[in-house]
């Protein structure tokens, strides 16, 4: 054992000496490097660090596009340039000269800049909207309340040590200095002078950086709507993020300078459209000149939202709606009516996909980009302008009238209160309740005579459906209305959807009225408290056309991420529920026998295609067969066909 230890010791000692030598050598190298940094080149490195400031600037992500079902662009982004100013170590005189030079460059190229100073010139006067606001402003700066606009302007000229004598130039410099004082800026936090400058101005500021100390050009994107007002109520609009929206989303990558979807698809799918901001690194010298600039963190573009609508069909729908409203207003269908607004929904009865949705009047979403003017905002919300911001297709509720009669027919047939062959004698005046008259009696002073359920639908016989309402009762009637989705939100992926109202005794009680038989009779023909949205009516007719199978209206086909992956339908539905605070119960299919269904559909078809149908005079030369889509070729290779709930009028 002793001999073994003696043989091993020389190797251990050798390894130990080698390790000691390496450590010793590394120490010498480190000392030499420290000597080089601190003694030989210390002054150079200190000068560099003292004259170069690193600033981080947000690299805003490009907002995702909104597309139609065929990939046509409805909302997108275009590249813009912003002008930002950082605080630098330059004298006040040079700062004022730089500001004036910057503004004149912008003006020469037709670019605007943010100006919040409340005094204008030529003539010089305050721009406050009230005396109270002016007094509050004067108090803030310890100026007497009788201070004239000229004297207040002179005060700020002295405050900011402006030496220029031309009042126009003085006012321009004050505009920026006032914002600096009000909003603040630093060597790392910029003040946005303009969020959208021309390429010409951008190139000047970038190429002549040494002439504009502290000035930096950023690249942003601007929301554009290439089709103007097309589908405006579907798309919605964006605006600057509000204080409450920022507080709720500041941990999700938002800043106070971000935009935020306010209505429509822009709001509901804001989390996907937003994208993720990046970081741009700017190195400046203390005099404000840019030394270096690079991307520290790439921005990630927002996801594209693909809608179910067809842009071409949407154009046709909106045009047809406007023309029809004007025709009604001018007496094109007989007596002129004060028609100023309306809505249309075109929906695939098999899938619930909305192919077009129009509401009139509409608005320009682009008017909100960059901030809408007060005058235009007031105009959009004015009743005399018919509130163009309202999406009447989902927010407006209206008495359905005779379009409700198929609910009454279904309830009566399925509960056995009538058969498809039974005939009711319409004598003109119904002998129960308040003795309501059939519309036919009011016009021709006689009833329809003996009539079955198919003919009653075709001729929209009030008398027949008064009798059906009386037989089934209001509880059964309201039960079937609810089963068809009436009086409930559909859950479509849009803001401000109304639930509507199904007429019931409870509703009457809530407004201090007592339910009577007369209310039941009126409810059976879609009157009293019945009030539904056009989308609910489209859903109801789609369920009927499907033989009672439920459909869920949708206007979003898919969402495509920047990496081309797609969001699942389940995630889209969950996002919609959370954004719209929805808690909808799953609806069951409605049991309708084929015999009863065919009797109802035959009556609906007869409305437009048979003599005596209430809409026959309008559709007799239409050239298109109004009937169930699934009975015809859907590829356009056979009979012309279309699905349209107007046929139930």
What gap in Å lies between CA 410 and CA 483, rounded to an integer? 11
Judged by phi (left if over 0) then psi (alpha if -120 to 50, else beta), residue 321 lies in alpha
In 452-533, the DSSP E strands lie at: none
Rounded mean pLDDT of 267-288? 83
Pick the closest to residue 551 from 604, 481, 592, 492 (CA basis). Answer: 492
Q: What is the pLDDT of residue 7?
A: 46
Beta bridge partners, 307, equal 556
Pick the closest to residue 445 from 427, 433, 467 (CA basis). Answer: 427
369-378: long-range contacts at Cβ-Cβ below 8 A with a sequence spacing of 24 or more? 369/222, 369/223, 369/224, 369/237, 369/238, 370/195, 370/196, 370/222, 371/239, 371/240, 372/239
What gap in Å lies between CA 265 and CA 494, rounded to an integer? 6
Query: Is residue 364 scored above 50 in pLDDT?
Result: yes
Instruction: Name the band, by pLDDT with cuts 50, 70 and 90, for residue 221.
Output: confident
Three-state DSSP state, 605 = helix
Beta strand 304-307 pairing with 66-67: parallel
Place of tokens 């005939």: 423
Q: What is the pLDDT of residue 626?
A: 59
10, two tokens: 């020389």
Instruction: Give the per-residue SS3 of 2-20.
Output: HHHHHHHHHHHHHHHHHHH
If you average pLDDT over each of 27-31, 214-218, 315-319, 371-375, which comes out highest? Answer: 315-319
Give domain limits for the chain.
Answer: 2-40, 53-66+75-232+272-304, 400-530+589-649
Q: What is the pLDDT of residue 56?
A: 72
Q: pLDDT, tens digit, for every residue of 148-203?
A: 999 999 999 999 999 988 999 999 999 999 999 988 888 778 899 998 899 999 99
Q: What is the pLDDT of residue 30?
A: 66
Instruction: Name the band, by pLDDT with cuts 50, 70 and 90, for residue 325.
Output: very high
Three-state DSSP state, 283 = strand
Instruction: Name the band, by pLDDT with cuts 50, 70 and 90, for residue 299.
Output: confident
Determine which of 301-315, 330-344, 608-622 has the lowest per-residue pLDDT on average.
608-622
Neighbours of 74 (CB within 10 A): 24
Pick the closest to residue 497 from 552, 559, 568, 571 (CA basis). Answer: 552
Q: Model-level pTM?
A: 0.77
Instruction: Name the band, by pLDDT with cuts 50, 70 and 90, for residue 345.
Output: very high
- How deeply is 416 buried, as exposed, middle or buried, from its count of CB atoms within 10 A (0-12, 13-18, 19+)? exposed
- Bond from prior residue into 123 cis (ω within 30 degrees of 0): yes
Query: Is residue 338 scored above 80 in pLDDT?
Result: yes
Q: What is the pLDDT of residue 52?
A: 56
Rounded mean pLDDT of 39-55? 53
Pick the closest to residue 117 from 195, 161, 181, 164 (CA basis). Answer: 181
Q: pLDDT, tens digit, for every residue of 557-580?
A: 999 999 999 999 999 999 999 999
For residues 366 and 225, the answer to whether their CB atoms sit within 8 Å is yes
**Which option is the CATH number for 400-530+589-649: 3.40.50.1820, 3.40.710.10, 3.90.400.10, 3.40.190.10?**
3.40.710.10
424, two tokens: 């009711």
Q: pLDDT, tens digit, for every residue of 598-607?
A: 999 999 999 9
Place of tokens 């000035």: 215
53-66+75-232+272-304: CATH topology = Penicillin-binding protein 2a (Domain 2) (3.90.1310)
Tell me, yes or no, if the two domains 53-66+75-232+272-304 and 400-530+589-649 fold the same way: no
185, two tokens: 């800026």
Q: pLDDT, tens digit, for every residue of 367-392?
A: 999 788 888 999 999 888 999 999 99
What gap in Å lies between CA 587 and CA 572, rounded to an integer? 19
Q: What is the pLDDT of residue 38?
A: 57
- CB contact burial 595-604 (16+ within 10 A = b; e otherwise): ebbebbbbbb
Neighbours of 499 (CB within 10 A): 15
Q: pLDDT, tens digit, for every residue of 4-42?
A: 344 445 555 555 566 666 666 666 766 666 555 555 555
For residues 540 and 484, the answer to whether their CB atoms sit within 8 Å is yes
Instruction: Name the band, by pLDDT with cuts 50, 70 and 90, for residue 355.
Output: very high
393, two tokens: 């297709």
Place of tokens 């409810």: 523
Pick the closest to residue 557 from 222, 291, 188, 310 (CA basis). Answer: 310
In 25-65, the DSSP E strands lie at: 52-59
What gap in Å lies between CA 284 and CA 55, rounded to an integer? 8
């Amino acid at each position: 054992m002793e001999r073994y230890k003696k043989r091993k010791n020389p190797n251990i000692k050798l390894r130990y000496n080698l390790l000691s030598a390496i450590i010793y050598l590394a120490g010498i190298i480190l000392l030499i490097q420290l000597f080089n940094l601190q003694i030989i080149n210390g002054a150079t490195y200190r000068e560099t660090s003292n004259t170069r400031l690193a600033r981080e600037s947000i690299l805003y992500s490009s907002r995702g596009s909104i597309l139609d079902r065929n990939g046509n662009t409805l909302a997108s982004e275009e590249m813009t340039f912003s002008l930002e100013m950082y605080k630098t170590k330059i004298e006040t005189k040079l700062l004022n000269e730089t500001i004036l030079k910057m503004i004149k460059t912008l003006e020469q190229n037709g670019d605007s800049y943010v100006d919040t100073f409340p005094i204008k010139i030529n003539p010089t006067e305050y721009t406050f909207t009230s005396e109270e606001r002016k007094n509050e402003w004067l108090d803030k700066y310890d100026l007497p309340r009788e201070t004239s606009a000229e004297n207040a302007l002179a005060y700020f000229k002295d405050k900011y040590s402006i030496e220029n004598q031309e009042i126009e130039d003085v006012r321009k410099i004050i505009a920026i200095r006032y914002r600096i004082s009000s909003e603040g800026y630093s060597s790392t936090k910029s003040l946005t002078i303009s969020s959208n400058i021309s390429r010409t101005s951008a190139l000047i500021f970038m190429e002549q950086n040494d002439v504009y100390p502290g000035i930096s050009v950023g690249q942003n994107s601007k929301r554009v709507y290439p089709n103007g007002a097309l589908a405006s109520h579907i798309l919605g609009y964006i605006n600057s993020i509000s204080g409450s929206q920022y507080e709720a989303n500041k941990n999700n990558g938002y800043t106070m300078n971000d935009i935020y979807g306010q209505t429509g698809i822009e709001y509901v799918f804001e989390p996907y459209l937003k994208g993720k901001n990046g970081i741009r690194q700017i190195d400046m010298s203390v005099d404000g000149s840019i030394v270096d600039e690079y991307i520290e963190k790439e921005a990630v573009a927002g996801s594209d939202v693909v809608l179910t609508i067809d842009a071409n069909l949407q154009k046709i729908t909106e045009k047809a709606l406007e023309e029809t409203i004007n025709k009604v207003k001018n007496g094109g269908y007989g007596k002129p009516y004060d028609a100023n607004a309306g809505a249309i929904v075109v929906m695939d009865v098999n899938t619930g996909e909305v192919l077009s949705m129009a509401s009139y009047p509409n608005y320009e979403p682009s008017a909100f980009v960059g901030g809408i003017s007060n005058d235009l905002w007031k105009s959009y919300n004015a009743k005399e302008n018919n509130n163009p911001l309202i999406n009447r297709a989902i927010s407006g509720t209206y008495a359905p009238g005779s379009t409700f009669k198929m609910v009454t027919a279904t309830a009566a047939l399925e509960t056995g209160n009538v058969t498809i062959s039974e005939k009711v004698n319409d004598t003109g005046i119904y002998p129960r309740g308040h003795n309501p008259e059939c519309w036919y009696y009011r016009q021709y002073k006689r009833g329809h005579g003996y009539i079955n359920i198919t003919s009653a639908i075709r001729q929209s016989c009030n008398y027949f459906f008064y009798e059906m309402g009386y037989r089934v009762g209001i509880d059964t009637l309201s039960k079937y209305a609810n089963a068809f989705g009436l009086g409930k939100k559909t859950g479509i992926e849009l803001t401000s959807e109304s639930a509507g109202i199904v007429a019931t005794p409870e509703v009457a009680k809530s407004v201090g009225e007592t339910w009577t038989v007369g209310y039941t009779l009126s409810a059976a023909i879609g009157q009293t408290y019945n009030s539904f949205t056009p989308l609910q009516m489209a859903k109801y007719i789609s369920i009927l056309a499907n033989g009672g199978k439920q459909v869920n209206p949708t206007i979003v086909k898919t969402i495509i991420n920047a990496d081309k992956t797609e969001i699942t339908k389940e995630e889209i539905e969950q996002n919609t529920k959370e954004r719209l605070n929805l808690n909808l119960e799953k609806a069951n299919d409605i049991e309708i026998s084929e015999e009863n269904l065919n009797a109802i559909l035959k009556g609906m078809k007869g409305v437009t295609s048979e003599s005596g149908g209430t809409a026959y005079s309008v559709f007799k030369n239409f050239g298109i067969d109004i009937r169930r889509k699934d009975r015809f070729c859907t590829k356009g290779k056979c009979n012309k066909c279309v699905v349209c709930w107007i046929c139930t009028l």
